Structures are given as structure tokens and as C-alpha cells.
Amino acid sequence: MSGNPYQDDRGNKDRTITNTGGSEWTGAVRSGGRAERVNGDGPFLIGDGMTGGYGTGANILQDCTISVERGEIAVIVGPNGAGKSTAMKAVFGMLTLRGGAVRLNGEDITRLTPQARVARGMAFVPQTNNIFTSMTVEENLEMGAFLRRDDISATIAEVYDLFPVLRDKRRQPAGELSGGQRQQVAVGRALMTRPGVLMLDEPTAGVSPIVMDELFDRIIEVARTGISILMVEQNARQALEIADKGFVLVQGANAYTDTGKALLADPDVRRTFLGG
């Protein structure tokens, strides 16, 4: 632990989330339009050479780079404990980087709080505890749109069109839904800000293969609307099949980076990570 005598291990709660220092509360939310590229022609979102760990602990990420182009799907795969979730949190500002930078649309956002990144059009579905279990499906969506002050009913309707089962269950507490439906609520909540980039940490964890295929289809559908997807996946093979770009992480560092197809074809990757 970090040596803070007051602290408690409260799950994956990160002190940095509540860090308001250096934040820039714009309160503004992208309303679907495309933001202007400020400079350069780098990727839409990139965590570039990220190095860092939790609190004052050891570095978990070692010069790790992940990125996604506009409207594309990028997938991060790798063994358990490789630091995939940590890399996602780092991109979202939930832990303080000791090296490297995060850029959104060419703009350096390394110092922004997660809340400020939400306001800039980033959305994140954490691996665990990603819904409000005691609240209804519709309330979950409303909370996703908390920063918006305009009419959100059209966005709610869009989410229900994407996940029709949620429309039927909209008055039910989200905690009562099945695993796959909960993940739909989690993704739906994240979509409520009409983000430019959607980050998903293992959206298919713990769901049946049929539900998994269904979720992948929906994610592709979301990407087709122009939203970039940066996704961690356990089911590496299926995920790389739909990925424009793939990152294989091992012990917090990039092991392989290529297009999804190339990684699937790479004999080394196949042998080590895809089971032959």
C-alpha cells in the first residue's frame, strides 16, 4: 500500500479520480459534432509512452503506448495482470503518470481529471462495478448524461434502439439484470454523453458466447457512427477479428502492435497468446 495511514483498500478506487487539482471544469460536452484537429496528424486518442503505477507504488506501465484512430476499433489484449486495465485508467487520468503523455485530438490532456476528460468527449466503462445497481436502467442512463444540460431523451432513445432489451427493462433496478444486460447498461450509460471515444474494459467478461457475439456486433455498430472504440478484451481472437488495430501488452509494456488481421496472422502472437 501507499504508506498513507488513513487509507483503506476500497477496491479499485483511485485517489486520483477525486483529484481536483489542475482540473479544468468546462462542463461542456461534445454534442456529436466532430472536433477540429488542433495540430499534427497523430491518432485521435493516444496514451504515448506511458509510465506509472498506483499511488506511490512501483511502475506497472513501462513506456506503454496505446492509441485509436477516429471511428476505428483498437483492442488491447494480453495475459492477466499485464496492466491492460491500468493502461486504460492511465489514459482516462485515473492514475498519475510518471512519464509519457495522453493526447486527445492532438491536444495534451495529461493533466486533466477524469471528470474533465468526460467533458471533453471521452467515456469509460470500467471492468467492474460499472453500473449503479440500485438504480433503474433509465436512471443509469440519466446519470451517464449528468453533465449535459440539454434534452437527453433523443440519446436515451438511441441507446434503447441499440439495446432494445433495455427499453423493456427501463424501470427495473439495473442490479437485477443478467450479466449481458448489465454490460449493455454500462455501455449505454457511457454513450449518454455522446462521446467521441468510448473506452471499454472487458465488456464481454462473464457473458455467454452468444451474448458476447451480440455485444461485439453492437460495438461495431457504435464504431460505425463515428465513435472511436478503445477496448480491452479477454477473448483475444474474436476481438482482434473486429479490431482495426491491436496492442499486445506484456508486463506493462508493448509486446506487439499491428493491425488486428496482422496480429491474428503473426505466428508468434498465435503461439503465445491465442493458443496456437
Partner 1 sequence: MDFLNAFVALANFVLIPATAYGAQLALGALGVTLIYGILRFSNFAHGDTMAFGTMVTILFTWWFQSMGLSLDPLPTALAALPFGIVVTALLLLGTDRIVYRFYREQKAKPVILVIVSMGVMFILNGLVRFIIGPDEQRFADGERFLISARDFKEITGLEEGLAIRTTQGITIITAVIVVALLFWFLKSTRTGKSMRAFSDNEDLALLSGINPERVVAITWVIVAALATIAGVLYGLDKSFKPFTYFQLLLPIFAAAIVGGLGSPLGAIAGGFLIAFSEVSVTYAYKKVLGYLLPENMEPEGLVQLLSTDYKFAVSFVILIIVLLFRPTGLFRGKTA
Ligand X SMILES: Nc1ncnc2c1ncn2[C@@H]1O[C@H](COP(=O)(O)OP(=O)(O)O)[C@@H](O)[C@H]1O
Q: Give the binding site for ligand X (CB under 6 A).
A: 12, 54, 57, 60, 78, 80-86
Give the sheet arrangement for strand 99-104, strand by strand: 61-68, 45-52, 99-104, 107-108
Please state the closest distance from residue 102 (CB atom) to partner 1, in A: 16
C-alpha 45: how far from its chain's center? 11
Judged by CB under 5 A, the number of residues near Mg ion is: 2
**Contact between 118 and 93 (Cβ < 8 Å):** no
Give me the 89-128 binding string for Mg ion, x by CB under 5 A, dash otherwise.
--------------------------------------x-
Based on the shown chain and the rule CB under 8 A, indicate whether residue 182 belongs to the binding site for partner 1: no
Based on the shown chain and the rule CB under 8 A, indicate whether residue 259 belongs to the binding site for partner 1: no
Please state the closest distance from residue 5 (CB atom) to partner 1, in A: 8
Q: List strand residue ranges (DSSP E) for 105-261, in order.
A: 107-108, 122-125, 197-201, 228-232, 245-250, 253-259
The CA angle 57-61-64, to the nearest 5 degrees, is 160
From the list 38, 57, 98, 129, which residue makes contact with partner 1 (rule: CB under 8 A)? 129
Nearest-angstrom CA–CA distance, 195 and 118 = 8
Based on the shown chain and the rule CB under 8 A, indicate whether residue 70 belongs to the binding site for partner 1: no
C-alpha 246: how far from its chain's center? 15
Based on the shown chain and the rule CB under 8 A, indicate whether residue 18 belongs to the binding site for partner 1: yes
Which of these segments, 64-72, 117-125, 162-170, 230-238, binds partner 1 (CB under 8 A)?
A: 117-125
Based on the shown chain and the rule CB under 5 A, indicate whether residue 85 belongs to the binding site for Mg ion: yes
In the block, which residue shows the cell 451474448? 211
